[in-house]
């Protein structure tokens, strides 16, 4: 097989969201699985809506996900001459013609046809006029009215369109810029793209693109139309329906590993396996395992995947992602080893990095933020003397030895006639300020004797 080349061609008119990211992922995985090349290309021929800002955010999102492109990014806006050359060729070969119909006129015709219950299509008014290029004239491709248009989709098999489905469509606007249909074909052709993997909303565009390939007299690439990602409500996932950008998930404390994994499982499966690393996906990804029906995005399950990776990824790989969430604290005062141990102790208890940061903030705070209500409840006339006694005992304890501490506390509770449960809550508040924390004896160990003593004293003051 020739070398596989895939591409991801976002238009920089918005941030990268889950749907786009999944398309990028599948293209990336397919290319990497076959030792091929993955190209990034920005389709920015719509100068009105394209923004530099989005180019930047899409790139950052892909980088964060680890979907690194081997070539590009290309910009269609920088390749206008190329499109014009190809268009000129089609015009000179009589395969395309100039059209002088105004937008307003076409709009009217479309309305009229629609009212008659007909398919809105260009009626070929300028087809035989043999107009030369000129201002206000768009270039249309000549389309046969008799032949069915057939193509073989890698996932769905043969797809047939009746000839009347495609009219003489525009390939070059009257301002000389190419339309999407034309630009994609020329780009994919000149960039050597072998496999076009894209959302199935493009199925209906494919016939038009096929006709361009045909007119050009070149071989077709392979097409694979993957199902779209729908919102939880089953409606199309789109920016207007509040689809969040990938970068927003980053800010909410999602791990790229989780995003990748969840996205891969939307519309793709590998037996009963649920969890995959990027490396594993590259190894196992095959197009024939892609589902054909659209998948709904389920925030709940997405969170679960994040929780899974939070508790299974090596702590060294979590730390860099966690650091931005800890920026309010002087974490540079703590060793990496210390931070890793803390991560280890809370990773099973949280679902996002944000939650993780909140859960361990007490390690870094000079002044604890107490849950006042809980403090009142658990640090009372009954427990205060006990805490005082504990402070005395602290000197002779080895906080490094968790097991020993636990034995000591169990004994202490028994002797004092309180349940460890109740004593533990009082201590938890005193040491962390909260009612929920990592295991107490671990907290003491990591805090160290000095801080434990200080915090206990402060709590009973």
Residue 37 or 347 having the CB closest to RNA: 347
Identify the active-site residue in 3, 51, 111, 239: 239
Q: Where are the alpha helices (DSSP H) in 191-289?
A: 206-216, 246-251, 256-265, 278-284
Residue 3 known to be catalytic: no
Geometric angle at alpha carbon 427, from 425 and 430, rounded to 5° = 110
Residue 163 or 332 having the CB closest to RNA: 163
Task: Provide the minimum distance between the beta carbon of 10 and RNA in the complex, in angstroms, as a whole number.
Answer: 7
Residue 117 or 417 having the CB closest to RNA: 117
CB 123 within 8 A of CB 135: no
3-state DSSP call for residue 142? coil
Q: Cα(370)–Cα(457) distance, rounded to whole angstroms?
A: 14
Return the closest-CA partner of residue 331 out of 361, 368, 364, 367. Answer: 364
Residue 73 or 120 having the CB closest to RNA: 120
Q: Could you tell me if residue 262 is left (phi over 0), alpha (psi between -120 and 50 degrees) or otherwise beta?
A: alpha
Residues in the chain: 461
Task: Provide the minimum distance between the beta carbon of 332 and RNA in the complex, in angstroms, as a whole number.
Answer: 27
Task: Provide the minimum distance between the beta carbon of 454 and RNA in the complex, in angstroms, as a whole number.
Answer: 20
Report whether the peptide linkage leading into residue 327 is cis, meaning its omega lies within 30 degrees of zero: no
DSSP 435: S
Task: Provide the minimum distance between the beta carbon of 63 and RNA in the complex, in angstroms, as a whole number.
Answer: 21
Q: Where are the alpha helices (DSSP H) in 222-352?
A: 246-251, 256-265, 278-284, 299-312, 315-322, 336-346
Residue 119 or 369 having the CB closest to RNA: 119
Q: Could you tell me if residue 274 is left (phi over 0), alpha (psi between -120 and 50 degrees) or otherwise beta?
A: alpha
**DSSP class per residue in 380-403:** STTTHHHHHHHHHHHTT--TT-HH
DSSP 273: B
Residue 230 or 333 having the CB closest to RNA: 230
Residue with tokens 């007299």: 217
3-state DSSP call for residue 212? helix
Q: Which residues are catalytic?
A: 239
């Amino acid at each position: 097989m020739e070398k596989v080349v895939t591409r991801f061609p976002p238009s920089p008119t918005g941030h990268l969201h889950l749907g786009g990211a999944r398309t990028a992922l599948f293209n990336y995985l397919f290319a990497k699985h076959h030792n091929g090349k993955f190209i990034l290309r920005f389709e920015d021929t719509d100068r009105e809506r394209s923004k530099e800002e989005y180019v930047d955010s899409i790139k950052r999102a892909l980088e964060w996900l680890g979907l690194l492109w081997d070539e590009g990014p290309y910009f269609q806006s920088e390749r206008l001459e190329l499109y014009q050359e190809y268009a000129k060729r089609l015009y000179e070969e009589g395969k395309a013609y100039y059209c002088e119909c105004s937008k307003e006129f076409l709009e009217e015709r479309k309305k009229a046809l629609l009212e008659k219950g007909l398919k809105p299509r260009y009626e070929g008014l300028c087809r035989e006029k043999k107009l030369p290029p000129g201002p206000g004239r768009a270039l249309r491709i000549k389309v046969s009215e008799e032949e069915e248009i057939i193509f073989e989709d890698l996932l769905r098999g043969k797809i047939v369109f009746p000839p009347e489905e495609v009219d003489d469509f525009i390939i070059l606007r009257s301002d000389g810029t190419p339309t999407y249909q034309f630009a994609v074909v020329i780009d994919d052709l000149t960039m050597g793209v072998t496999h076009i993997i894209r959302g199935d909303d493009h199925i209906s565009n494919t016939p038009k693109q096929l006709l361009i390939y045909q007119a050009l007299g070149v071989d077709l690439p392979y097409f694979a139309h993957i199902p779209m990602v729908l919102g939880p409500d089953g409606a199309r996932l789109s920016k207007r329906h509040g689809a969040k950008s990938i970068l927003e998930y980053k800010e909410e404390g999602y791990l790229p590993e989780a995003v990748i994994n969840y996205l891969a499982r939307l519309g793709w499966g590998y037996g009963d396996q649920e969890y995959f690393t990027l490396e594993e996906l590259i190894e196992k990804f095959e197009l024939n395992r892609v589902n054909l029906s659209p998948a709904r995005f389920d925030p709940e399950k997405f969170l679960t995947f994040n929780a899974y990776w939070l508790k299974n990824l090596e702590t060294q790989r979590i730390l860099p992602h966690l650091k931005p969430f800890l920026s309010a604290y002087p974490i540079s005062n703590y060793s990496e080893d210390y931070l890793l141990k803390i991560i280890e102790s809370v990773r099973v208890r949280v679902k996002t990095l944000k939650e993780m940061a909140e859960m361990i903030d007490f390690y870094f705070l000079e002044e604890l933020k107490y849950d006042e209500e809980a403090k009142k409840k658990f640090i009372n006339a009954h427990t205060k003397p006990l805490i005082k006694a504990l402070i005395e005992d602290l000197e002779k304890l080895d906080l490094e030895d968790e097991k020993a501490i636990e034995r000591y506390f169990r004994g202490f509770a028994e002797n004092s006639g309180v349940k460890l449960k109740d004593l533990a809550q009082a201590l938890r508040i005193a040491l962390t300020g909260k009612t929920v924390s990592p295991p107490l004896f671990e907290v003491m160990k990591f805090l160290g004797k000095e801080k434990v003593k200080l915090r206990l004293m402060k709590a009973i003051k």
